[in-house]
A and B are shown apart, each in its own frame.
Chain A
Amino acid sequence: MIRYVVYWARMVACVLKGGRLYYTWMGSLLVLILLGAWSYSHDVVDGLIRTNMTDEVSWGIGIANFVFCVGLAASALLLIVPAYVYKRHDAKEVVLFGELLAVVAVVLCLLFIITDIGRPERLWHLFPGIGKLNWPSSMLAWDVVVYTGYLIINLHIPGYLLYKQYLRQKPNPYFYLPFVFISMFWAVTHYTVTGFLLSGLGGRPFWASPILAPRFLVSVGCTAPAVLLIILTVVRRHTHFKVQESVFDYLKKVLRFSAPLNLFLLGCELFSQFYSGARTPAAHYLWVGLNGKHGLNPLIWTALALNLATTLVWITPKFRKSHRVVIAAAALTMLGIWLEKGVGLVIPAFIPTPLGEVVEYWPNLGEILVSVGLAALGAFVFTAIAKVTIAIQTGTLAVHGGEDSPRVPAAPGSVPGGDRAPVSFPPGSDRPPASVRTPESEGVA
């Protein structure tokens, strides 16, 4: 027990220590978080009237971000499959980053919902037993169940493996492998349920498409590798943790398939919405405008342009070779998907209303501050746990001596569940040349 408390204390100490760049990064995030909290506190006191949402467009940027974050949570699945199903060591070395990112993404999902609802203090009404969870009828109740489960599983696996690594003990596969496999199926459920959350509403024809869940899954296959490419580049550039080039190749390969597939499914959707000439007012509003209102047109065409351009990068070998291009393309892929499957998927469903009224929506400063604050909170938490993870995985944070002394000598790079040392820097390591450093990657030190 004491050992466990000490472990936590040392992790906190590890988070508090860092270089100038690290402090700058964390400090700026903290400022954004506080701004978001300040803005949200007004929503709590004065009501959601402070947002630009209305009875007509009753879900706004908060839910759009929620939907996008669901996609980020796929990062775990993306690394777990190669690591545990195909037993790729390179993927196993970084799998914890995927799982921790999933944790952060799920927490963000929940926070985006909580900050969006009218009575957050009544959340206990959802807890079975003391509250009244309308399960299995309500898709939102399914979401609550699935998210909580996913969060617990994804907290358990890295939590257990890291602690064992800290103790320099070999993890017991029975304690984590079953959960790893459960988490794979759970992840698919997670995206599917979110797809169903929207497509289950018959009154919103824009969502009531049978390919909504598949479209959703495929775009998840774009955001997750894109964000992992960025994160792992930063990790490789600014820490002693070694990420093998083959991991990057794998992520790029995923994008090579998912990005064109995403466009293909979008094309299918557009065909059925527009070719027959049937009335699809929401799609019209989104793509070409309705009743002289065009609010979302620039946004969706930008998204299309971004998705086309980045797909071109992912399928062209020449572009894929340049780190600079890859990082830029990854960032733009995220932006493109955020516009298309976040904002462009949630908001038009409300325009026009089921009774045909066209009321437009655009987030106001308060809403943007809350969203940015939450995103900053996600980045803050992820940076903190990634720092601890790296310290543990590279052996700088470990228990010393005592009865838990490792049977396996403190091999600095032993990977949880793996047997390969990721830390040593072989001469002429495949660290990228300094010339490809990007502003994002400079953030963490």
Chain B
Amino acid sequence: MSQRPVTCTKTDCTAPSCAPDCAPSAPATGLVQLRRGGGTSRRSILQAAAGGVAAAVAAPACNTPEFEAYFQKHYKKLTDEEKVKVFARLEEKTRQKTGVRVRIGDPPPIEGVHFAYALNLSHCNGNRRCAEACARENNLPDEPEMRYIRVLELDNGSQHLERGTVYYDREKVPAPGKFYLPVQCHQCDNAPCVKACPTGATWKENDGIVVVDYDWCIGCRYCQAACPYHARRFNWVEPKIEPSRINPHQAYLSNRIRQMGVVEKCTFCLQRTRRGMYPACYEVCPTGARKFGDLSDPESEVRQIVENKRVWILKEDLGTEPRFFYFYG
């Protein structure tokens, strides 16, 4: 059974968007000339907006980072050259804000790969390391705390969600008579959030991962209302992370530093998985409950599980067709 989910076939890819690939330990300098000039602060954008959009449009400095950020196109409409500029601007913005040099890449979906997750509920003991590892990998803020993965503690023999809790003591797991149900974005094939989004700021990629363009999202939170798995998080405040905890290996569509007023979610760590690595939650799990891989590879572990185990999915009746399977084994 193949242990690695996928092999990155793109190590020699020269697309600018793929440039910082496959070198998590490479020093974060150089491939792209960093642009100088201030990052875009929300305040300054709003000042521009307050003075009327006309003022922003007519501003003499049409090539200031503020201007470029405000009129940045949807991810899908960006050309490769524009992406280089955008990523450089965002890297510079992060550097100015936090002092950390980060690399923002854009690994594309690997052709023919369809990611899926399987979770063995007999093994999961609710220690919640996955949620913490996820937070570190994906640059989630701690104050106020944001976590993509929620682990529910439920009574044995029941799926009565309202009787469960996510606020259990993780030092005392597994508690007798309880079982644990970790939930994160299920990367639905028929995703209600994608259907709901009025601006097309969230969509499903070819490898099955549902992503958000944080620079396009207007923060209406309709997707949050639509998601049946409570998987989406909103930035109610400008997210703050200690510079020492920032993961510099970033991707535009996943773990780059986010901004106030937009929605985000789990992306199966696409900055890792599209480069042939496992998601952070998978790697950290001490019980081996988590299985991840390429559903279209007949040899992959996850495919074997889906074919041979009695897997089930959460809220199947809603027709969301998740890429996230639970099983007991």
Q: Which residue of A lies closest to B319 (CB)?
A: A202
B61 touches A (CB below 8 Å): no
B143-175 vs A: 1/0 string, CB under 8 Å? 010100010100000001111111000000000
Judge whether A141 and B198 touch: CB under 8 Å: yes
Judge whether A58 and B161 touch: CB under 8 Å: no
List residues of chain A with CB within 8 A of the CB of B53.
124
Known: A201-B192, A201-B226. A355 touches B237 (CB 8 A): no
Within 8 A of A (CB), among B214-240: 216-222, 224-230, 232-238
Q: Which residue of B lies closest to A208 (CB)?
A: B318
Judge whether B260 and A47 touch: CB under 8 Å: yes
Judge whether B218 and A122 touch: CB under 8 Å: yes
> Which one of B197, B225, B263 has the highest number of Cβ atoms from chain A below 10 Å of its Cβ?
B225
CA–CA, A194 and B110, complex, Å: 40
CB distance from B215 to the nearest CB of A (A): 9
A318 touches B (CB below 8 Å): no
B195-225 vs A: 1/0 string, CB under 8 Å? 1111111000000000000001111111011
Judge whether A119 and B219 touch: CB under 8 Å: yes
A353 touches B (CB below 8 Å): yes
Known: A49-B236, A49-B237, A126-B198. A356 touches B216 (CB 8 A): no
Judge whether A355 and B183 touch: CB under 8 Å: yes
Known: A117-B218, A125-B201. A140 touches B45 (CB 8 A): no
List residues of chain A with CB within 8 A of the CB of B197.
134, 138, 140
A115-128 vs B: 1/0 string, CB under 8 Å? 01111111111100
CA–CA, A58 and B230, complex, Å: 11
The interface residues of chain B, by DSSP majority, are classed as: loop
A253-286 vs B: 1/0 string, CB under 8 Å? 0000000000000000000000000010100000
Within 8 A of A (CB), among B244-264: 260-263
B13 touches A (CB below 8 Å): no
CB distance from A47 to the nearest CB of B (A): 4
B70 touches A (CB below 8 Å): yes
A191 touches B (CB below 8 Å): no
B4 touches A (CB below 8 Å): no
List residues of chain B with CB within 8 A of the CB of A54.
236
Which one of A44, A47, A352, A353 lies within 8 Å of B238 (CB-CB)? Answer: A47
Judge whether B230 and A113 touch: CB under 8 Å: no
Judge whether B49 and A121 touch: CB under 8 Å: yes
Within 8 A of B (CB), among A120-160: 120-126, 131-134, 137-141, 143-144
Which one of B46, B162, B221 lies within 8 Å of A356 (CB-CB)? Answer: B162
List residues of chain A with CB within 8 A of the CB of B232.
55
Judge whether A119 and B217 touch: CB under 8 Å: yes
List residues of chain A with CB within 8 A of the CB of B194.
137
> Which one of A117, A125, A126, A144 has the highest number of Cβ atoms from chain B below 10 Å of its Cβ?
A125
Judge whether B74 and A118 touch: CB under 8 Å: no
> Which one of A123, A124, A143, A354 has the highest number of Cβ atoms from chain B below 10 Å of its Cβ?
A354
List residues of chain A with CB within 8 A of the CB of B230.
55-56, 353-355, 357
Q: Interface size class for chain A?
A: 35 or more
List residues of chain A with CB within 8 A of the CB of B217.
118-119, 122
CB distance from A114 to the nearest CB of B (A): 10
Known: A47-B238, A203-B227, A355-B166. A118 touches B161 (CB 8 A): no
> Which one of A117, A201, A203 has the highest number of Cβ atoms from chain B below 10 Å of its Cβ?
A203
Judge whether A48 and B46 touch: CB under 8 Å: no
CA–CA, A203 and B243, complex, Å: 37
Judge whether A354 and B46 touch: CB under 8 Å: no
CB distance from B168 to the nearest CB of A (A): 12
A434 touches B (CB below 8 Å): no
Judge whether B162 and A291 touch: CB under 8 Å: yes
Judge whether A125 and B226 touch: CB under 8 Å: no
A50-70 vs B: 1/0 string, CB under 8 Å? 010111101100000000000
Known: A47-B235, A49-B237, A138-B195. A355 touches B229 (CB 8 A): yes
List residues of chain A with CB within 8 A of the CB of B237.
46-47, 49
The interface residues of chain A, by DSSP majority, are classed as: loop
Within 8 A of A (CB), among B26-68: 42-43, 45-46, 49, 53
Which one of A53, A143, A357 lies within 8 Å of B236 (CB-CB)? Answer: A53
Known: A122-B218, A132-B216, A138-B198. A55 touches B233 (CB 8 A): yes
List residues of chain A with CB within 8 A of the CB of B166.
355, 357
Which one of B165, B216, B262 lies within 8 Å of A118 (CB-CB)? Answer: B262
CA–CA, A59 and B221, complex, Å: 8
Within 8 A of B (CB), among A56-114: 56, 58-59, 113
CB distance from A286 to the nearest CB of B (A): 14
Known: A141-B198, A202-B319. A58 touches B224 (CB 8 A): yes
A45 touches B (CB below 8 Å): yes
> Which one of A44, A47, A131, A143 has the highest number of Cβ atoms from chain B below 10 Å of its Cβ?
A47
List residues of chain B with CB within 8 A of the CB of A134.
197-200
Known: A118-B235, A121-B46, A352-B162. A132 touches B225 (CB 8 A): no
A204 touches B (CB below 8 Å): yes
CA–CA, A117 and B260, complex, Å: 11
A421 touches B (CB below 8 Å): no
CB distance from B145 to the nearest CB of A (A): 11
CB distance from A145 to the nearest CB of B (A): 10
Q: Which residue of B lies closest to A203 (CB)?
A: B228
> Which one of B49, B194, B198 has the highest number of Cβ atoms from chain A below 10 Å of its Cβ?
B198
A338 touches B (CB below 8 Å): no
A358 touches B (CB below 8 Å): yes
CA–CA, A58 and B42, complex, Å: 22
Judge whether B199 and A133 touch: CB under 8 Å: yes
> Which one of A133, A134, A281 has the highest number of Cβ atoms from chain B below 10 Å of its Cβ?
A134
CA–CA, A201 and B196, complex, Å: 8
CA–CA, A358 and B163, complex, Å: 10
CA–CA, A143 and B237, complex, Å: 27
- The 8 closest A-B CB pairs, nearest first, are A118-B219, A118-B261, A356-B161, A203-B228, A140-B198, A49-B237, A49-B236, A356-B162
- Known: A58-B221, A120-B49, A355-B152; 10 extra A-B contacts, CB below 8 A, are A53-B236, A55-B233, A124-B53, A143-B198, A201-B226, A202-B192, A202-B320, A354-B315, A355-B164, A356-B164
Write the residues of chain A forming the contact surface with B, with a CB cutoff of 8 angstroms: 44-49, 51, 53-56, 58-59, 113, 116-126, 131-134, 137-141, 143-144, 201-204, 279, 281, 290-291, 349-350, 352-358
Interface pairs (21), CB distance under 8 Å: A45-B42, A47-B237, A49-B144, A54-B236, A55-B234, A59-B225, A116-B220, A118-B219, A118-B234, A122-B218, A123-B218, A125-B218, A133-B200, A134-B200, A138-B195, A138-B222, A202-B319, A203-B315, A352-B161, A353-B230, A358-B162
